[in-house]
Structure 1
Amino acid sequence: MPEIVAEPVVVTPAEPQNQTEVFAVHGADPEVLAYAMAKYSRSALSMKESLKEISSQRAEQFLNTFYFQYGHRSIADLAHIAFAIERLSLLAAISLVDEQRWDGQERSTRYQNFKKSGWYMPDFGADRSAAQLYRTSVEGLFTAYHELAEGMFESLTKQVAKPSEMKQESYDRTLRARAFDVARYLLPLATNTSLGQIVNARTLETQVSRLLSSPHAEIRQLGERLRGAATGPAWNVHAEELGKLQQEVAALDPALGAKAEALLMREVKTAPTLVKYAAQNNYEIETKRELAQAVADLMKDEAIAPAPVVDLVERKESLEGEIAATLLYGASHYSYRQLRDAVSSLNEARINEVIALGTRHRGRHDELLREFSAGQNLRFDILMDIGGFRDMHRHRRCVQIIQRYTTAHGYDIPEGVSEAGLQPLYESAVQAAHDAHDKLGTDSADYILPLGTRMRALFKMDFAEAVYISELRSQPQGHFSYRRVAWKMYEAVKKQHPALAQHFRVTDVNEPVDMLKR
């Protein structure tokens, strides 16, 4: 039998296709779009072809398999969802935005009068005296806020002359904004605000889980409402016009109207699959509880040491020591330097025991606590007013470890209050609120704290981020509180790394500022 010789296989090379196409995608449900994008790794179909063949049901089936069973969590990064969150407290807003991958905007306490915004009232149950003390404290702060804003505006009009070319309306608006800069220090954390956010589904899932783990009832309810908004029907901005159009079509052709109704009036659920299983994070809850006990055992009621507004803590400890100190920092009110020094006195085995507390309750799908983000060369321990911190909080390229609220660090007095003769009014209002907070002694008492109250947060970052924050936040149009912090960050780097100071383009906050140029 003759030998069979196989014919050589000729592979035709692909033709050159120098035809890059770029187009924006509009109208696809977030989860359907996420599925379509995920298909790039598993299919040669174009985006247009994928979207034409994908239904919401198929997207749900795919996500149930690859997201929940196989753990391909990056798929959720592709589904972006817009939310409006209205009439939540400032305290809840701080917690809501505490995500490293977050985009949004909130009502500004610098440019708006919050006197009529309303405020959050916790449930005190049968404890009427506690409820009355809370109500009296919040109302007292709002009264003082109004008096301080009016008093500062009157004082500023006497200090700053209106240029002849400036309209009265612009002059008044500018000085009002400056007056609100000062008066906002008296706004309690109970004050209502509103914000909008655009987040991907993975961030939303971790956000909801974190909110559901809060000791504050309002924040837990916020987590439930976010989950409900993501898994339930979304509000359609064009619903009214589409409804009218569908009715007009149906009047002309009932059969076509039915088709139009199915397409135009269908309910859109932005993340019915990706967020449905979000629940409280027991890993975080149990770990925080055990770390708080570990701090108490280590520090043994040691007094909180005095600390500057900005402390750039030089690196002396090992990576293990940094992780242990950071874990304890988030569960205490001590400075990072004080905890770092206390941890450095421990032996290796004891340090490793503290680190082990941070992972003991970690579940299969739990990401490590933020405190494990260690190794950055620049660690700024910042002690500043809550209002100013909220602006610093927006910097997402750094790791932020935020301590719980307390009256232990006292409060700041805003610029201009003393000169306007309003310091007695201000200090009386803040002190009364702090006294009421300590008397109540519950999580709900945190809502009474005014924004002038000092809080502590650890900011870990690289050099580029330190330059960015110092340059941006020291600019003349900024708030005097965070301008001071940004300047001190620059000075701290200059002291420890003098050769690098030349690369900062900061604005000297000690130079006078024209109040009419904002």
Structure 2
Amino acid sequence: MSENANKPAETDVYAIHGADPEVLAYAMAKYSRSSLTMKESLAEISAQRAEQFLNTFYFQYGHRSIADLAHIPFAIERLSLLAAIALVDEQRWDGQERSTRYQNFRRSGWFTPDLGPETPRFTAAVEALFVAYDHIGAEMLEALKSAIARPEEMKPEAYERTLKARAFDVARYLLPLATNTSLGQIVNARTLETQVSRLLTSEHAEIRQIAEKLRLAATEPAWNVQHSAARVLCEEIGSVDATCGDRLTEALLRPVKTAPTLVKYATANEYLAASRTELTQAAAELMANQPIDAAPVVDLLDDTESLEVELATSLLYPHCHYSYRQLRSHVAALSDARRSELIGLGTKHRGRHDELLRAFSAGQGFRFDILMDIGGFRDMHRHRRCVQLLQPYTDAHGYEEPTCPGQPTLAEAGLEASYNSAMDAAFAHYRQLRDCGIPEAAQSAQYALPLGTRCRSLFKMDFAEVLYISELRSGVAGHFSYRRIAWEMYKAVEKRHPALAEHFRIEDVNEPIDLLKR
């Protein structure tokens, strides 16, 4: 007997590179059905065998967790800010988008929705906002330079770059939702399938088109970053040995389709579309065009209502413009039977493999009804470990004026009148476009709204996430818009649960900050 026969096997850990995403997913899934090692599995698996396996276990048997194992990077470039918010609205999403703080978005261009004869009006509205964006940004930069001297130890380029970022923080309020941006995402195939299906169900034509392009990008050969260098190598070897060159070409330059199987059946989500239509109608009937009550910027909701009231209110919330508290008071006054009917609208059209609507993630410990500018919401939107319900964009809540303690205000910089004039004009254009009567006018008009427009959203989370968001987003390096929201979240928790306040490592956002520190 070998002297090593009774020794315990050592744990083997190794990273994997070079396997196609679906092949790798199949190899990992085989752990549950085979004693082969990963290296052995990958050595015997072909793309064809992976497709056969996935067609059987993923689509026929519904083993959707297999798609969690195939991760795919994408670049999505030249899409509107409005579309980008919709695209990243996944709870299982990883990615990065262009920053409005460090880049001049004037050079990005914009998306123009199909507004028929009203297109010139839309173009004029967007161009006016960009003129104001340039003007406010340039003048605020000069005001900052006048107010803040450059320290001797600070290099001129660093001084200029830092203050320019502060000026962009103000100017971004004027960027229209039509503004083009770019983002990268790395998602698993299950998230991608859900994302494509959700985007195909959008009320915006641009977003539906992006969904089709995402699906196509996953099923067609991916761009190979090593292609040029590999091609030269293959040609050099082929000039010496044609057979060897052909074999190398097949190994290095073969087209790789990242997810040809896992997203090929992604279609518009009928459950989501039908539920949206009926819940929008139900919300309109319940509220009967009542005026929107005044509400705090951040409202930490109590948990006195029943689960049934929370579910019905949450289902209606994304389909109107009322605060959660105002909407809840009407839902609570309904009969038990009517509330059950509203909850039933959320499950009525659910298919066999449909996940419940996000509003059914109920019973969270902390619920914040937040009214803030769209630009600030984009930053808060990145927090995935909570449930977020976003209402449609509208002019109903007005707009924010950028204000940062220690930084010159618009009035002090002589820019208040210019800013208000630009925002008021944008809202007037929005209303004219919204009411013009062409198909999807209400959706297309939203592209003319600037990022300074207030939007309402509901965030549900546990205590750990409240603490994390409050600490992170109140930091002095952050944008003053979400710093204020994070501070108000903390203050609301402090008032409701004073014994918990000592656990927050919080930055007082009312204190002036050193604007040269990032």
Structure 2: how far apart are the matches of 1:483 and 1:155? 22
Equivalent AA in structure 2 for residue 136 of structure 1? A
Q: How far has the Cα of 1:299 moved from its partner?
A: 1.0
Q: Give the Å deviation of 1:418.
A: 2.1
Structure 2 residue corresponding to 1:331, chosen from 309, 319, 322: 319
1:394 alignment counterpart? 382
Give the Cα separation in 2 of the matches to 1:433 and 1:188. Answer: 9
The C-alpha deviation readout for 1:15-66, integer Å capped at 9, x for no partner, is 5524011100000000000000000000000000000000000000000000
Give the whole-Å Cα distance in 1 for the aligned partners of 2:37 and 2:225: 29
Pairs within 5 Å for 1:3-152: 15=6, 17-124=8-115, 127-128=116-117, 130-152=118-140
Distance 2:161 2:288 in 1: 52
Q: Tell me the distance in 1 between the aligned counterparts of 2:461 and 2:411.
A: 35
Structure 2 residue 190 is the aligned partner of structure 1 residue 199 = no
1:253-294 alpha-carbon deviations (Å, 9 max, x no partner): 111112112111100000000000001111111101100111
Residue 437 of structure 2 is matched in structure 1 by: none
- Provide Cα deviations, 1:172-202, integer angstroms capped at 9, x if missing partner: 1111000000000000001111111000000
Partner of 1:4: none
Match of 1:427 among 420, 423, 444: 420
What is the correspondence of 1:270-419 to structure 2 with a 5 Å cutoff? Answer: 270-415=258-403, 416-419=409-412
**Residue identity matched to 1:422:** L
Match of 1:507 in 2: 507
Taking the aligned partners of 1:300 and 1:312, their CA distance within structure 2 comes to 26
Question: CA separation in 2, counterparts of 1:44 and 1:384?
Answer: 54
Aligned equivalent of 2:433: 440
Give the drift of 1:365.
1.1
* Residue of structure 2 equivalent to 1:465: 465
Select 2:157's aligned residue among 169, 182, 201. 169
2:183 alignment partner AA: L
> Does residue 1:263 correspond to 2:251, yes or no?
yes
Calculate the TM-score normalised by the size of structure 1: 0.96
Partner amino acid, structure 2, of 1:222? I
Give 3-state SS (helix, strand or coil) of 2:106's partner. coil
Alignment-mate amino acid for residue 424 of structure 1: A
- TM-score under structure 2 normalisation? 0.96
State whether structure 2 residue 219 is matched by structure 1 residue 231.
yes
Name the CA distance, whole Å, in 1 between partners of 2:8 and 2:206: 56
Runs (4+) of structure 1 exceeding 3 A deviation are: none
List per-residue Cα deviations over 1:401-438 (Å, max 9, x = no partner).
01110000000000121221101111111111111111
Aligned residues: 502
1:330 counterpart SS class: helix
1:320 to partner: Cα distance: 1.1
Q: Secondary structure at the match of 1:193?
A: strand
Alignment pair present for 1:486 and 2:480: no
Hey, what's the Cα distance between the residues in 2 that align with 1:491 and 1:113? 35
Deviation by residue 1:366-388 (Cα, 9 ceiling, x = unmatched) = 11110100000100000000000
Counterpart in the other structure of 1:474: 474
In structure 2, the partner of 1:9 is none
Structure 1 unaligned regions, length at least 5: 1-13
**Map of 2:148 onto structure 1:** 160
CA distance in structure 2 between the partners assigned to 1:495 and 1:215 by the alignment = 40
Corresponding residue for 2:406?
none
Counterparts of 2:266 and 2:124, CA distance in 1? 37
- Higher mean alpha-carbon deviation, 247-256 vs 98-107, is at 247-256
Q: Which residue of 2 aligns with 1:6?
A: none
Give the residue type in structure 2 aligned to 1:145.
Answer: Y
The CA deviation at 1:301 is 1.2
What secondary structure does 2:73 align onto?
strand
Aligned with 2:78: secondary structure? Answer: strand
Taking the aligned partners of 2:411 and 2:183, their CA distance within structure 1 comes to 33
Distance of 1:37 and 1:258 partners within structure 2: 30
Q: Residue 494 of structure 2 aligns to a residue in which SS?
A: helix
1:10 matched residue in structure 2: none
Q: Equivalent residue for 1:253?
A: 241
d(CA) in 1 for partners of 2:345, 2:380:
29
Displacement of 1:70 in angstroms is 0.2
Cα-Cα RMSD:
0.9
